[in-house]
Amino acid sequence: MLDDCDDIHPLFHGAPKTTEFKKLRKRIVQNVREAIEQYGMVERDARWLVCLSGGKDSYTMLAILYELKWRGLLPVELLACNLDQGQPGFPASVLPEFLEKMGVPHRIEYEDTYSIVKDKVPEGRTYCALCSRLRRGNLYRIAREEGCSAVVLGHHRDDILETFFMNLFHGGRLATMPPKLVNEEGDLFVYRPLAHVAEEDCEKFAKSMNYPIIPCDLCGSQDGLQRQQVKGILDGWEKNRPGRRQVMFRALMNARPSHLLDPNLFDFKGLELNPKDRDNSSDIPDLR
């Protein structure tokens, strides 16, 4: 899969030449390619808005998408985008300087959603839900303005697992972040090409490439977030039995509606015995 050329794209300049890194890079490329193909993310000649937060995941996603594009495996146009939400201490120059240096087409948008969140969210409550909704709305707007057909997000395998357990523990439903969906307005796709990539691999990749990581606690680290609690549980399970995260992730790809309890997904009332086993001698009374 990989060749001896370090110059696929400036995003890969200075890539370590170690066997370990080459294996890591190959694994991530394969994971991303697998997700893109499995969930049908590619529309030829499409334009994607690739959303960058400045974290390890979005840097990894950007680099791997460019590698796939260089190899002729991703026939789409990529436009990187960062939404500066007015968070205190946000280093506004880091991403534009990096993207300029890398020669990556991009758009930097400033929208002070932080002040709105601070005003609307009661003291002691977490900001994440409202912040996320405001961010998503702005990204949809930017995608439309730029003629993009898809908004591309850097959520990885562990994000998807954590969301599943958050919905299970706190939401009373079996649901998570899908790798591909259509927005409520029906005019944009939302893609998560890192869906099969482990968070640990993103961290190793971005650190090895020495990308300028922006910390994720700029809004003020809020202790006790549900996601952090779930992450701690999953970390404990993984420590006790390495590989458990991947087993659980595979389960999300192997759902059996007939072995769950949702009558909207499976017609339990319509189940019948084989004719030879059916006793037609008595009617089944209606239950009240």
pLDDT the model gives residue 131:
80
Kind plus residue range of the DSSP H or E element containing 100: helix 94-102
pLDDT the model gives residue 223:
45
Structural domains counted in the chain: 1
pLDDT the model gives residue 285:
64
Please give the single-letter amino acid code of residue 102. M
pLDDT the model gives residue 85:
83
Flag whether 175 is in a domain: yes
Flag whether 10 is in a domain: no
pLDDT the model gives residue 228:
86
Q: How far is Cα 148 from Cα 79, in angstroms, rounded to an integer?
A: 9
Tens-place pLDDT, residues 80-133: 999 988 888 889 899 999 999 999 999 999 988 888 887 777 776 777 777 888
Flag whether 271 is in a domain: no
Flag whether 57 is in a domain: yes
pLDDT the model gives residue 190:
97
pLDDT the model gives residue 8:
73
pLDDT the model gives residue 173:
94
Flag whether 282 is in a domain: no
Which CATH number characterizes residue 92's domain?
3.40.50.620
Tens-place pLDDT, residues 159-180: 999 999 999 999 999 999 999 9
Flag whether 189 is in a domain: yes
Residues in the chain with pLDDT values less than 50: 1-4, 6, 221, 223-224
pLDDT the model gives residue 111:
86
pTM of the predicted model as reported, rounded to 2 decimal places: 0.88
Are residues 61 and 86 in contact, defined by beta-carbon separation less than 8 angstroms? no
Q: How far is Cα 81 from Cα 144, in angstroms, rounded to an integer?
A: 13
Flag whether 201 is in a domain: yes
pLDDT the model gives residue 132:
81
Domain encompassing residue 252: 16-259
Please give the single-letter amino acid code of residue 32. V
Flag whether 171 is in a domain: yes
